[in-house]
Amino acid sequence: MRRLQTEEDEEEESTELAMPGETRARVLLPSKPGRKRRRAFKSKSHDRAHQISTMATAAAASLYSSVKPSITHVVFDMDGLLLDTEIFYSEVQEKILARFGKTFDWSLKPKLMGRKAIESAKIFVEEMGIADQLTPEGFLEEREGMLQHMFPDCKEMPGVKRLITHLHANGVPMAVATGSHKRHFALKTQNHGNIFAMMHHVVTGDDPEVKKGKPSPDCFLVAARRFETNVDPSNVLVFEDAPVGVAAAKNAGMYVVMVPDPKLDASYQKDADEVLTSLLDFNPSNWGLPPFQDAKN
């Protein structure tokens, strides 16, 4: 009778040992040692299940990371990204500061880039310690006299014509969202009409619908609304060079590729989805856009 009871115990134990999808094995063991063995096996079974779960999670993460975003529209910043104008701003700032016996601190540059003119002017005079001698409005007036003669000579940044021509040829709608006001936009682009003619529209810093400058998302959201179709922000890829521009794009719920000035500290680049040294390095295929047909990509 005791033997029958032992076999029943062992049968129960053999059921514990059988895992789903595996051949059931009957192991005859004394009652107490069997319980210890069963507990040990359960521990191994748990470890194995955990390992399988971990592998599945890793596989899912890998699959997710390989999925390209569905980019349908592109929005470009202008200054320092499409046109090399930032050099003019720095030159003029140096000249103005020289009157006060000061030199421009380049570490201030990231705070000025991409903002509306009056916002940058306020930051400039305060940070450089000349606010008691020069108002933001006075700074802009003095700066304007010099910049308007410089802007028509600005050059396109490397890779601009190649990328914009490629996207336009493949039917990808594009727009510009810049902090520059209309008058400066006209001066800067007067010798680059062929490039900007391929844009669906342009949103400038003095646009009445742009209530706040970058890092507010206003300019990018306005740009998205003005495309012919109702565009989801998550389908928009923004190109920026300024930290506040990157923040504005992310605040708008868009993806952003950053092409920063080489002197910009890496800490300002961490929020971008991709960072490039030049637009020549951009690979459209990484974003689900039509690939270049030339050898570079």
Check residue 290 and give its pLDDT.
96
User: pLDDT (tens digit, 9 = 90+) per residue, 138-150?
Assistant: 999 999 999 999 9
191-226 exposure pattern, b = at least 16 Cβ within 10 A, e = fewer: ebeebbeebbebbbbebeebeebbbbbbbbbbbbeb
Secondary structure element (H or E) that encloses residue 74, with its range:
strand 73-76
The one catalytic residue in 9, 77, 105, 281 is 77
What type of residue sits at position 197?
A
User: pLDDT (tens digit, 9 = 90+) per residue, 248-264?
Assistant: 999 999 999 999 999 89
Q: Any catalytic annotation for residue 79?
A: yes
Q: Are 196 and 95 in contact (CB under 8 A)?
A: no
Rounded to two decimals, the pTM is 0.75
CA distance 59 to 63: 6
The full set of domains in the chain, from first to last, is 73-84+155-283 (3.40.50.1000), 86-152 (1.10.150.240)
Question: Average pLDDT, stretch 30-45?
Answer: 45
Q: Are 152 and 187 in contact (CB under 8 A)?
A: yes
Q: Of 13, 68, 65, 64, which Cα lies nearest the Cα of 42? A: 13
Percent of the chain topping pLDDT 90: 69
Check residue 68 and give its pLDDT.
63
CA distance 174 to 65: 26
The one catalytic residue in 47, 79, 153, 241 is 79
Q: Any catalytic annotation for residue 77?
A: yes
Instruction: Write down the mean pLDDT value for the chain.
Output: 83
Percent of the chain topping pLDDT 70: 76
